[in-house]
Protein backbone atom coordinates (compact mmCIF):
# COMPACT_ATOMS: atom_id res chain seq x y z
CA UNK A 1 0.00 0.00 0.00
CA UNK A 2 1.31 3.43 -0.96
CA UNK A 3 -0.16 6.82 -0.16
CA UNK A 4 1.13 10.36 0.29
CA UNK A 5 1.83 12.21 3.53
CA UNK A 6 2.47 15.91 4.07
CA UNK A 7 4.32 17.80 6.79
CA UNK A 8 3.34 21.45 7.18
CA UNK A 9 5.81 24.12 8.25
CA UNK A 10 4.55 27.42 9.61
CA UNK A 11 5.34 30.20 12.07
CA UNK A 12 2.43 30.55 14.46
CA UNK A 13 2.11 33.66 16.61
CA UNK A 14 -0.40 35.04 19.13
CA UNK A 15 -3.24 35.76 16.68
CA UNK A 16 -5.20 32.51 16.91
CA UNK A 17 -7.63 33.36 14.11
CA UNK A 18 -4.75 34.12 11.73
CA UNK A 19 -2.96 30.89 12.73
CA UNK A 20 -6.07 28.80 12.09
CA UNK A 21 -6.65 30.47 8.73
CA UNK A 22 -3.03 29.77 7.77
CA UNK A 23 -3.22 26.17 8.95
CA UNK A 24 -6.41 25.59 6.96
CA UNK A 25 -4.90 27.11 3.83
CA UNK A 26 -1.83 24.88 4.09
CA UNK A 27 -3.87 21.73 4.79
CA UNK A 28 -5.99 22.49 1.73
CA UNK A 29 -2.81 22.92 -0.31
CA UNK A 30 -1.51 19.56 0.92
CA UNK A 31 -4.80 17.88 0.00
CA UNK A 32 -4.75 19.50 -3.44
CA UNK A 33 -1.28 18.01 -3.96
CA UNK A 34 -2.57 14.53 -3.20
CA UNK A 35 -1.79 14.04 0.49
CA UNK A 36 -3.89 11.46 2.34
CA UNK A 37 -2.24 12.11 5.72
CA UNK A 38 -1.39 15.67 6.76
CA UNK A 39 0.41 16.77 9.93
CA UNK A 40 0.56 20.27 11.42
CA UNK A 41 3.34 21.48 13.78
CA UNK A 42 3.36 21.75 17.55
CA UNK A 43 1.20 24.60 18.93
CA UNK A 44 -0.05 25.36 15.42
CA UNK A 45 -3.03 27.36 16.69
CA UNK A 46 -1.35 29.76 19.12
CA UNK A 47 2.12 30.76 20.28
CA UNK A 48 2.50 33.70 22.60
CA UNK A 49 3.89 34.73 25.97
CA UNK A 50 3.71 32.00 28.56
CA UNK A 51 1.78 34.30 30.92
CA UNK A 52 -0.98 34.47 28.29
CA UNK A 53 -1.20 30.74 27.60
CA UNK A 54 -3.92 29.99 30.15
CA UNK A 55 -6.28 32.37 28.36
CA UNK A 56 -5.42 30.87 24.95
CA UNK A 57 -5.80 27.25 26.05
CA UNK A 58 -8.81 25.23 24.85
CA UNK A 59 -10.50 21.94 25.50
CA UNK A 60 -10.30 19.29 22.78
CA UNK A 61 -13.88 20.20 21.91
CA UNK A 62 -12.84 23.82 21.43
CA UNK A 63 -12.51 25.99 18.36
CA UNK A 64 -9.15 24.74 17.03
CA UNK A 65 -9.69 20.98 17.02
CA UNK A 66 -13.31 21.37 15.95
CA UNK A 67 -12.27 23.44 12.94
CA UNK A 68 -9.60 20.93 11.97
CA UNK A 69 -12.12 18.09 12.35
CA UNK A 70 -14.50 19.81 9.94
CA UNK A 71 -11.60 20.30 7.52
CA UNK A 72 -10.55 16.64 7.71
CA UNK A 73 -14.14 15.61 7.03
CA UNK A 74 -14.50 18.00 4.09
CA UNK A 75 -11.20 16.95 2.50
CA UNK A 76 -11.60 13.27 3.40
CA UNK A 77 -8.12 12.88 4.88
CA UNK A 78 -6.35 11.87 8.06
CA UNK A 79 -5.12 14.98 9.85
CA UNK A 80 -2.74 15.28 12.79
CA UNK A 81 -3.79 18.54 14.41
CA UNK A 82 -0.23 19.31 15.49
CA UNK A 83 -0.67 20.17 19.13
CA UNK A 84 -2.57 22.68 21.22
CA UNK A 85 -2.48 23.83 24.83
CA UNK A 86 -5.30 21.70 26.23
CA UNK A 87 -7.11 23.27 29.18
CA UNK A 88 -7.32 21.02 32.24
CA UNK A 89 -10.26 21.65 34.59
CA UNK A 90 -9.11 22.70 38.03
CA UNK A 91 -5.47 23.15 36.94
CA UNK A 92 -3.41 26.25 36.26
CA UNK A 93 -1.23 24.32 33.79
CA UNK A 94 -2.26 22.69 30.51
CA UNK A 95 -1.43 19.60 28.51
CA UNK A 96 0.46 19.84 25.22
CA UNK A 97 -1.93 17.71 23.19
CA UNK A 98 -1.86 16.21 19.69
CA UNK A 99 -5.04 14.88 18.09
CA UNK A 100 -5.32 12.46 15.16
CA UNK A 101 -8.50 13.08 13.16
CA UNK A 102 -10.06 10.71 10.67
CA UNK A 103 -11.63 11.39 7.25
CA UNK A 104 -15.07 11.59 8.88
CA UNK A 105 -13.83 14.19 11.37
CA UNK A 106 -13.77 11.79 14.30
CA UNK A 107 -10.99 11.75 16.90
CA UNK A 108 -8.97 8.59 16.35
CA UNK A 109 -6.32 9.27 19.01
CA UNK A 110 -5.36 11.87 21.59
CA UNK A 111 -1.78 12.10 22.83
CA UNK A 112 -0.54 14.33 25.64
CA UNK A 113 3.17 15.13 25.45
CA UNK A 114 5.10 13.05 27.97
CA UNK A 115 8.51 14.75 27.95
CA UNK A 116 8.49 18.49 28.69
CA UNK A 117 11.24 20.78 27.42
CA UNK A 118 13.12 22.43 30.31
CA UNK A 119 16.51 23.75 29.23
CA UNK A 120 18.97 26.56 29.91
CA UNK A 121 21.62 27.27 27.29
CA UNK A 122 23.25 30.45 28.71
CA UNK A 123 23.07 33.34 26.30
CA UNK A 124 21.05 31.35 23.76
CA UNK A 125 17.88 29.62 24.98
CA UNK A 126 16.09 29.35 28.30
CA UNK A 127 12.79 27.50 28.31
CA UNK A 128 10.74 25.81 31.02
CA UNK A 129 7.76 24.09 29.46
CA UNK A 130 6.88 22.53 32.81
CA UNK A 131 6.02 26.00 34.18
CA UNK A 132 2.85 25.96 32.06
CA UNK A 133 2.38 22.31 31.06
CA UNK A 134 1.54 19.01 32.75
CA UNK A 135 3.24 15.88 31.37
CA UNK A 136 1.09 13.17 29.86
CA UNK A 137 1.53 9.53 30.80
CA UNK A 138 0.14 7.38 27.97
CA UNK A 139 1.85 6.00 24.86
CA UNK A 140 -0.62 6.36 21.97
CA UNK A 141 -0.86 4.53 18.66
CA UNK A 142 -4.00 4.21 16.51
CA UNK A 143 -4.87 1.66 13.85
CA UNK A 144 -6.20 3.37 10.71
CA UNK A 145 -6.84 2.38 7.08
CA UNK A 146 -3.46 3.98 6.29
CA UNK A 147 -1.61 1.85 8.83
CA UNK A 148 -0.92 2.18 12.54
CA UNK A 149 0.07 5.74 13.44
CA UNK A 150 2.02 6.53 16.60
CA UNK A 151 1.95 10.02 18.11
CA UNK A 152 4.78 12.01 19.67
CA UNK A 153 5.64 15.70 20.12
CA UNK A 154 8.94 17.61 19.76
CA UNK A 155 11.17 16.94 22.83
CA UNK A 156 9.89 13.35 22.94
CA UNK A 157 12.34 12.79 20.08
CA UNK A 158 15.22 12.55 22.56
CA UNK A 159 13.71 9.55 24.37
CA UNK A 160 14.13 6.42 22.23
CA UNK A 161 12.23 4.22 24.67
CA UNK A 162 8.99 5.97 23.68
CA UNK A 163 9.48 5.09 20.01
CA UNK A 164 10.34 1.49 20.80
CA UNK A 165 7.12 1.22 22.80
CA UNK A 166 5.22 2.75 19.88
CA UNK A 167 6.63 0.20 17.45
CA UNK A 168 5.85 -2.64 19.86
CA UNK A 169 2.29 -1.26 19.83
CA UNK A 170 2.30 -1.73 16.05
CA UNK A 171 3.31 1.73 14.81
CA UNK A 172 4.34 1.89 11.15
CA UNK A 173 4.25 5.68 10.94
CA UNK A 174 5.14 8.12 13.72
CA UNK A 175 4.22 11.79 13.70
CA UNK A 176 6.34 14.42 15.45
CA UNK A 177 4.77 17.91 15.53
CA UNK A 178 7.58 20.16 16.73
CA UNK A 179 8.94 23.59 17.56
CA UNK A 180 12.64 22.65 17.91
CA UNK A 181 14.90 25.50 18.96
CA UNK A 182 17.52 26.56 16.43
CA UNK A 183 20.67 25.66 18.46
CA UNK A 184 19.48 22.15 19.36
CA UNK A 185 17.80 21.69 15.99
CA UNK A 186 20.88 22.57 13.99
CA UNK A 187 22.89 20.07 16.03
CA UNK A 188 20.48 17.17 16.45
CA UNK A 189 17.13 17.44 14.62
CA UNK A 190 17.94 15.45 11.50
CA UNK A 191 20.24 13.01 13.29
CA UNK A 192 17.60 12.11 15.89
CA UNK A 193 14.73 11.79 13.41
CA UNK A 194 16.79 9.52 11.18
CA UNK A 195 17.91 7.50 14.20
CA UNK A 196 14.33 6.97 15.41
CA UNK A 197 13.31 5.96 11.87
CA UNK A 198 16.23 3.54 11.42
CA UNK A 199 16.16 1.84 14.80
CA UNK A 200 12.37 1.34 14.69
CA UNK A 201 12.03 0.89 10.91
CA UNK A 202 9.19 3.42 10.78
CA UNK A 203 8.25 6.41 8.68
CA UNK A 204 8.80 9.65 10.62
CA UNK A 205 6.63 12.65 9.70
CA UNK A 206 7.99 15.75 11.41
CA UNK A 207 6.18 19.07 10.79
CA UNK A 208 7.77 22.03 12.55
CA UNK A 209 7.62 25.71 13.41
CA UNK A 210 10.32 27.91 11.86
CA UNK A 211 11.83 31.35 12.35
CA UNK A 212 11.72 33.84 15.27
CA UNK A 213 9.09 32.97 17.86
CA UNK A 214 7.30 34.86 20.66
CA UNK A 215 9.64 33.42 23.29
CA UNK A 216 12.65 35.41 22.08
CA UNK A 217 14.57 32.74 20.17
CA UNK A 218 14.26 31.04 16.78
CA UNK A 219 12.83 27.69 15.75
CA UNK A 220 14.83 25.47 13.43
CA UNK A 221 12.15 24.43 10.93
CA UNK A 222 13.49 21.84 8.48
CA UNK A 223 10.21 19.91 8.54
CA UNK A 224 10.88 16.51 7.07
CA UNK A 225 9.63 13.04 6.19
CA UNK A 226 12.06 10.14 6.68
CA UNK A 227 11.63 6.53 5.56
CA UNK A 228 12.38 3.31 7.52
CA UNK A 229 15.86 3.10 6.00
CA UNK A 230 16.66 6.57 7.31
CA UNK A 231 16.46 8.39 3.98
CA UNK A 232 15.15 11.96 4.05
CA UNK A 233 12.35 11.89 1.48
CA UNK A 234 11.30 15.53 1.85
CA UNK A 235 12.57 18.59 3.69
CA UNK A 236 11.27 22.15 3.98
CA UNK A 237 13.39 25.22 3.29
CA UNK A 238 13.42 28.14 5.74
CA UNK A 239 9.92 29.31 4.88
CA UNK A 240 6.27 28.42 5.22
CA UNK A 241 5.91 25.16 3.33
CA UNK A 242 4.11 21.92 2.61
CA UNK A 243 6.43 18.98 1.96
CA UNK A 244 5.04 15.71 0.60
CA UNK A 245 6.45 12.21 0.24
CA UNK A 246 5.13 8.70 -0.52
CA UNK A 247 4.53 6.27 2.34
CA UNK A 248 5.12 2.77 0.96
CA UNK A 249 4.13 0.15 3.53
CA UNK A 250 5.20 -2.72 1.27
CA UNK A 251 8.69 -1.23 1.18
CA UNK A 252 8.59 -0.97 4.96
CA UNK A 253 7.63 -4.64 5.23
CA UNK A 254 10.60 -5.51 3.03
CA UNK A 255 12.98 -3.48 5.20
CA UNK A 256 11.70 -5.20 8.33
CA UNK A 257 11.88 -8.63 6.69
CA UNK A 258 15.39 -8.25 5.27
CA UNK A 259 16.79 -6.61 8.41
CA UNK A 260 14.68 -8.20 11.18
CA UNK A 261 16.19 -6.22 14.07
CA UNK A 262 12.82 -5.60 15.71
CA UNK A 263 12.20 -9.32 16.05
CA UNK A 264 15.65 -9.67 17.66
CA UNK A 265 14.96 -7.15 20.45
CA UNK A 266 15.83 -8.69 23.82
CA UNK A 267 15.26 -5.80 26.20
CA UNK A 268 11.75 -4.50 26.73
CA UNK A 269 10.46 -1.81 29.07
CA UNK A 270 6.99 -1.44 30.53
CA UNK A 271 7.72 1.90 32.18
CA UNK A 272 6.88 5.22 30.52
List average pLDDT for each run of 10 residues in the chain, which is 272 residues long: 97 97 98 98 94 92 98 98 95 94 98 87 66 92 98 97 97 98 94 98 98 87 98 98 98 98 82 40
* 199 assigned to some structural domain: yes
* 48 assigned to some structural domain: yes
* 270 assigned to some structural domain: no
| Residue range of the domain that includes 160 | 2-264
Contacts of 45 (CB under 8 A, 6+ apart): 12, 16, 19, 20, 23, 58, 64, 82, 84
CATH number of the domain to which 127 belongs: 3.60.110.10
* 119 assigned to some structural domain: yes
Q: Bridge partners of 148? A: 143
Catalytically active residues, by annotation: 42, 113, 154
Contacts of 266 (CB under 8 A, 6+ apart): none
**Mind listing the pLDDT tens digit for each residue in 11-30?**
999 999 999 999 999 999 99
Structural domains in the chain (count):
1
> b/e map of 19-58 (b: 16 or more CB within 10 Å)?
bbebbbebbebbbeeebbbbbbbbbbbbbbeeeebeebbb
* 160 assigned to some structural domain: yes
* 176 assigned to some structural domain: yes
What SS3 class is residue 63? Answer: helix
* 106 assigned to some structural domain: yes
pLDDT for position 271: 42
pLDDT for position 270: 53
* Residue 139 burial class via C-beta count within 10 angstroms: exposed 0-12, middle 13-18, buried 19 and up: buried
pLDDT for position 272: 37
* 272 assigned to some structural domain: no
pLDDT for position 143: 98
How far apart CA 74 and CA 62 sit, in angstroms, is 18
DSSP code at position 93: S
Amino acid sequence: MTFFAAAIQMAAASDKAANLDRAERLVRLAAARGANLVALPEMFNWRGKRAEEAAAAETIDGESISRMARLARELQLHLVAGSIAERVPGQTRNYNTSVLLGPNGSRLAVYRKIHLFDIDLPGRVTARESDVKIPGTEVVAATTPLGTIGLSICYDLRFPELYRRLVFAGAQIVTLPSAFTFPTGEAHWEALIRARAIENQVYMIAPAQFGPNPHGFSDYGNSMIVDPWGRVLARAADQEAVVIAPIDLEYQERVRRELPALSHARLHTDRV
